[in-house]
Amino acid sequence: MKILLLEDNKRLNDTITKRLNAKGYEMCSFIDGKEAYEAIDDGYICFVLDINVPSINGIELLKKIREYNTNTPIIIISSTVELDTIKDAYKFGCSDYLKKPFFIDELEIKIEQLCNFDKDIIEIYENCVFYFKDSALEISGVREHLSKKERLLLNLLLSKRGKVVSIDTIQAIVWEGSFTSIDSIRSLMRRIRKKIPIDCIETVVDVGYLFKVHL
């Protein structure tokens, strides 16, 4: 579960990175907007962007991400209290806003809520569970082998359970921003369905897929 952090205050950047690493997230941290921009297609579950950073500011980076990725949560953090700036952040698609200074707990809670990680373990059905921390599927006490793409896809579907996950989002996160064909996505989905012996993934034709909440 990768998170991109853009924060040019080195001390705050290090503090956030260490805290979220300890929670099991894989952190990719940047202090420069241009460097962050070059890495935005790397399969993140969430972006945390400071506004006032070198090269490309957080609002501009937000706009660039939303050009191809409309669903992945983006949290804006900033010391600014200018209403127009906050309005711009929401106008261009930010999911939430945190004003500095803030408690790291606040950021962690927002990430968990936006990514729907309200539980560390999801019981898919009797004797079949998924562990978010290490993206592991366990059936009757036995860990099921999952490829990297299978882990990313199942993590994504379960984190958004009850909601439609678009084909574009699957491409952005599971294929880490690289182009892939619909046939490749369908093939991966068939492999996931075979490993979960219950009808729990619904196809939304020409849109995406939905992991059912109530089975």
pLDDT digits (tens, 9 = 90+) for 97-149: 998 888 888 898 888 878 765 557 788 888 888 887 677 889 988 998 888 88
Residue 25 burial (CB < 10 Å; 0-12/13-18/19+)? buried
pLDDT value of position 188 = 95
Contact criterion met (CB below 8 Å) for 154 and 130: yes
pLDDT value of position 2 = 86
Q: Among residues of the chain, what percentage have pLDDT more than 90?
A: 38
Indicate the pTM of the whole model.
0.62
Residue 4 burial (CB < 10 Å; 0-12/13-18/19+)? buried
Confidence check: pLDDT of 42 > 80: no
Separation CA 140–CA 126 (nearest Å): 8
> In which residue are the tokens 């064909």 written?
181
Confidence check: pLDDT of 80 > 80: no
| Buried b or exposed e, range 114-132, using 16+ CB within 10 angstroms | bbbbeeeebebeeebebeb
Q: What is the pLDDT of residues 168-191, one digit of tens each?
A: 888 877 887 678 899 999 999 999
Separation CA 136–CA 118 (nearest Å): 17
Domain ranges of the chain: 2-114, 121-211
Q: What average pLDDT does range 52-64 have in this prediction?
A: 93
Is residue 211 helix, strand or coil?
strand
Confidence check: pLDDT of 61 > 70: yes
The domain made up of 2-114 has a fold known as Rossmann fold (3.40.50)
Separation CA 42–CA 177 (nearest Å): 6
Contact criterion met (CB below 8 Å) for 213 and 162: yes
Separation CA 153–CA 79 (nearest Å): 35
CATH fit for domain 121-211, picks 2.40.160.10, 1.10.540.10, 1.10.620.20, 1.10.10.10:
1.10.10.10
Contacts of 86 (CB under 8 A, 6+ apart): 80, 97
pLDDT value of position 118 = 53
| Buried b or exposed e, range 36-66, using 16+ CB within 10 angstroms | bbeebbebbbbbbbbbebeebbbbbbbebbe
Is residue 169 helix, strand or coil?
helix
Separation CA 33–CA 47 (nearest Å): 12
Cα-flanking dihedrals φ and ψ of residue 98, to 5°? -125, 125
Nearest 10 degrees: Cα torsion 65, 67, 69, 70: 110
pLDDT value of position 215 = 53
Instruction: Give the residue with greater pLDDT, 5 vs 163.
Output: 5
